[in-house]
Every structure is written in C-alpha cells, then in structure tokens.
Amino acid sequence: MNIALDLGSMSFRTLRRTGAQLTARRLTSQYISVPSHSPAAKLARKTGVSTNSAEGFELIVGDDAIEMSQFVQAPLTPFLDGGKIPANDPIARQLIGNALDALLPTITGDAGLCVLALPGGHLDLASNPEMDYLSRAIGLKNYTIMPLHASLALGLAELGDSSFTGVALTLGASCCELSVIRYGVELAYAYLPMGGLWIEEQLAQKQSRFTFTPTGERFLDVLSVRNWMSSEQPNLHRPKTDEDKQLAEAFNHLLAQVEDEMGTQLGHQSEALFGIGHPLPLIIGGGLTMLDGAAPMLMKRFRESFGPVVLSNARVVKHTPFTICRGCLIHAELERTYAQSLNAA
C-alpha cells in the first residue's frame, strides 16, 4: 500500500488509496504547554480537553491547543522547529511520533511506500538526521520512506497537462520552495526559510501585539494576527488601513526575497537546466496564495522569468489542503509504473 504524508508546519496530513477509494487524515501539528498544577491545566481537565503529561507540564495538542491558547495565554509551539524536526527537543519528537502513529495505519506483509513532503532542506536519507528519525519512526508502521520537496509534489499534482514539466513555487508557512521539473524529475531546487509565519511575526512586532503567560513571560501574539487576517480578509492589492498596508509591505518583501534569493540559487544550478530549450509554465501554490489580492501581485512579479528560467506563462493554482499529498501519491504511482516496466524488460 502506498501512502502520502505531508509534514506541514501547521498541520500533518495523509492520503492513501485503497482500491478506488481515497482516505484523508489531518492533525494540527502545534501544541501548548502549561504547568501541571496551574489554573490553566485545571481548566483543560475541567472542560474535557485531552492532555499529555511531561516533566511537570500538561501538553495540549492539535485543534484543542489553538482554542485553549486564547484562554490560558500560552504560546502555540509547532511540532517542527522552523519546518525542521527539533534535534534537542524530546517532547516535540514524542509528539511527532504520536502524530505519525495516529495518522499512519500499520500494514502487514510486504512493506508499503510512504512518500513524504517535509518543509525545505536536505532530503538525503543517508546523511540527514531528520530523515533517519522519520525513517525509523515510519518504519515501525512497516513503510519505507521516499522524501520529496513540497514544490515537486505541487508540480506533480498540477502540471499533468504539460507532461509534468514546468516550474512549481510553493509559498508555505515556514518556508518557500521552488522546483524546476522535467517529465516528473526535479532538475533544480531552491529554498527560502521564510513564509507565512514570518509575515505574522512581522505584523505582530509592528503592531506591538504581545501577551503574557500567567508567570509574566511576554510573547508575540501571532495568533491574533492570524485571526485578523482570516476574519477581516485584507486586500493586498488595494490596502485600505494601516494594518492592510503593513501586510502588503511584508508580503511584497517576502516576494522580493523569493525572487532574488531563489533566482540566485537557480543560477548556481545552470548546468542542470542546460537541456531546457523552451519557456516553462510556472504554477504557484501554498496557503499564502489565498490572501485577497495575492494572485495579481504574484502574476505581475513572475510573468517572464525566474532567475535563469524563461517562463511561458504563470498561474496561481487553487489551494486545497491535500494538494501536496496528491502530488506525493502521483509520485508513488510513477515509481510503481517505472518499477513494473523494469521488471517487464
């Protein structure tokens, strides 16, 4: 059995196919911690919220964490640190293990294939401790893993009409990623460790949005920024208020970094791009594309080229929560077809 796993900074998702049926699962990958004997912990228990005990703290995980954080003044902590598995945080690692156990069904018999997307970075199984940890954790459910960049998964999900050939850019929560793809194979990759969470932090700083834990520790109230963006739906293209303008400026700064930094990275991989003799389509996805007014700003900035890559057209794809998982499943199917062709030969 093949299964797709999208380890996002905000949510973990899986998608698997059984016959003609697709089964999707999702788990919010954030938590809060409160002292075990604090009023916040007592409130959680009184309201029936599930908690996990660890070193004198109660951990509240998932959607409950988002809701409770507003009542108990505790900062939300992602399972992933900057999109990466924490190296020295045993609590976060345990929560990741629990999430994988809940999302991945154990299979018997022959090992299954888990195609996973992890935000950014180095995906070499042999030399990356993150991949080693995931390989062992997922291996307990009887899967071998095959890691992909999220941008490659986006391309596989959305570039079928161009023979899986083009440029895919994803604007995620913790990072932005770009893949140049030819017939389903990633030729070049670029990465920027900035995304939607960076924008939220910038706005919280500029607007002095701080809150305090019951013990007096101050932290950025990024959740209030996130709620404002969701409820007010500010327009990036035509900002009205000062807050709207700050959001548009932060978004523009992020796009400038994407264009400059990632374009430079592609320039350093020019040999890999040498065989492309024609303009390529660009697709853009990720949660930030849902911001009102984002599409025209993206289309204006990325109309003709991206670094050394000449573009034929650009489009913002419709954002759906399981797009990356769908691309991972397509990759698994391509791998299966390729293996069958080798066996037949």
CATH of the domain at 321: 3.30.420.40
Question: Does residue 104 have a pLDDT over 90?
Answer: yes
Q: Is 245 in a helix, a strand, or coil?
A: helix
Residue 151 CA to residue 155 CA, distance in Å, equals 6
Stronger pLDDT, 153 or 307, i.e. the higher one: 153
pLDDT value of residue 277: 82
Q: Report yes or no on 74 lying in a domain.
A: no
DSSP string, 21-67: EEEEEEEE-EEEEEETTSHHHHHHHHTT---EEETTEEEEETHHHHH
Count up the domains in the chain and report the number: 3
Q: Report yes or no on 142 lying in a domain.
A: yes
pLDDT > 70 in the chain, percent: 97
Residue 132 confidence class, pLDDT cut points 50, 70, 90: confident
Residue 109 CA to residue 256 CA, distance in Å, equals 50
Q: 166 with 199, same domain?
A: yes
Q: Which of 90, 122, 148 is the last residue of a domain?
A: 148
Residue 115 CA to residue 136 CA, distance in Å, equals 14
Q: Which residues contact residue 166 at a Cβ distance below 8 angstroms, ignoring those fewer than 6 apart? A: 155, 159, 181, 280, 281, 282, 283
Q: 103 with 37, same domain?
A: no
**CA contacts within 13 A on the Cβ side of 258:** 25
Q: Report yes or no on 127 lying in a domain.
A: yes
Residues 278-301: tens digit of each pLDDT: 999 999 999 999 999 999 999 989
Q: 289 with 156, same domain?
A: yes
> 112-117 and 77-78: which strand pairing?
unpaired
Q: Contact at 8 Å (CB) between 222 and 197?
A: yes
Question: Does residue 336 have a pLDDT over 80?
Answer: no
Question: Does residue 23 have a pLDDT over 80?
Answer: yes
Residues 172-207: tens digit of each pLDDT: 999 999 999 999 999 999 999 999 999 999 999 999
Residue 127 confidence class, pLDDT cut points 50, 70, 90: low
Q: 225 with 303, same domain?
A: yes
- pTM for the model stands at 0.92
Residue 340 confidence class, pLDDT cut points 50, 70, 90: confident
Q: Report yes or no on 209 lying in a domain.
A: yes
Q: 249 with 174, same domain?
A: yes
What b/e readout covers 227-243, taking b as 16+ CB neighbours within 10 angstroms? ebbeeeebebeebeeeb
Stronger pLDDT, 162 or 53, i.e. the higher one: 162
* pLDDT mean across residues, the chain: 90
Residues 248-271: tens digit of each pLDDT: 999 999 999 999 999 999 999 988
Question: Does residue 155 have a pLDDT over 90?
Answer: yes
Q: 120 with 245, same domain?
A: no
Strand stretches in the chain, DSSP E: 2-7, 11-18, 21-28, 30-35, 52-54, 57-61, 77-78, 112-117, 143-148, 166-171, 176-182, 185-192, 210-212, 218-220, 280-285, 305-306, 309-316
Question: Does residue 214 have a pLDDT over 80?
Answer: no
Q: Report yes or no on 290 lying in a domain.
A: yes
pLDDT value of residue 47: 85
Residue 125 confidence class, pLDDT cut points 50, 70, 90: low
Q: 157 with 114, same domain?
A: no
pLDDT value of residue 174: 92
Residue 345 confidence class, pLDDT cut points 50, 70, 90: low
- Mean pLDDT for 311-324 is 92
Q: 17 with 56, same domain?
A: no
pLDDT value of residue 220: 92
Q: Which structural domain, as residue segments, surrounds residue 212?
A: 150-345
